[in-house]
Amino acid sequence: MRLPSTHRRAALVLMAGLLTGLPAFAGEHGSRDEATAMVKKAVAYIKANGPDKAYEEITTGKSFKDRDLYVIVYDLNGKNLAHGANAKLVGKDLINLKDPDGFPLIQKFVELAKGKGSGWVEGYKFMNPVAQKMESKAMYLERLGDTLVGCGIYKD
């Protein structure tokens, strides 16, 4: 029995989506709302489980990663405590890190956390770990004690 052409096309689209992890259905980039929700989830997780367990999960686990979204944690001096996309950054003092255009992103994160306590830092570039290219990025941050917890969105 042969399927009608519309059913064959639908089956091919579905199979292609299953084989590639459904990017066409899930969306390539995370949204502002998703980044904000991930930060709130991470803050609650840190409060419930303590920093040691939480930072390990953020850095090496899968609970705080979704497509190009991932969580970061810094102390208010610019030292990275957890990084969902690059474990090699954990433990490094990155307060002087600048994007390719000279934007002092970690300094801006710390300033926002110490000032307003939460919000967005816009207008810098960072390597997208999914696309493997430099893209414009915005980061949502919330202060948690003497740390900041963030999740950013990429805007190609």
Share of the chain above pLDDT 90, in %: 76
pLDDT for the residue 67: 93
* Helix H or strand E segment including 104: none
Question: Is 147 in contact with 80 (CB distance < 8 Å)?
Answer: no
pLDDT beyond 70 at 31: yes
Whether pTM > 0.85 for this model: the answer is: no
Helices (H), the chain: 5-19, 23-26, 32-49, 51-60, 105-114
- How confident is residue 129, by pLDDT bands cut at 50, 70 and 90? confident
The residues, ordered by sequence, that sit 6+ positions from 8 with a Cβ below 8 Å of its Cβ are none
d(CA 11, CA 3) in angstroms, rounded, equals 10
The residue with greater pLDDT, 71 or 12, is 71
The residues, ordered by sequence, that sit 6+ positions from 132 with a Cβ below 8 Å of its Cβ are none
Is beta strand 147-155 parallel, antiparallel or unpaired with respect to 69-75?
antiparallel
pLDDT for the residue 27: 53
pLDDT for the residue 144: 98
pLDDT beyond 70 at 4: no
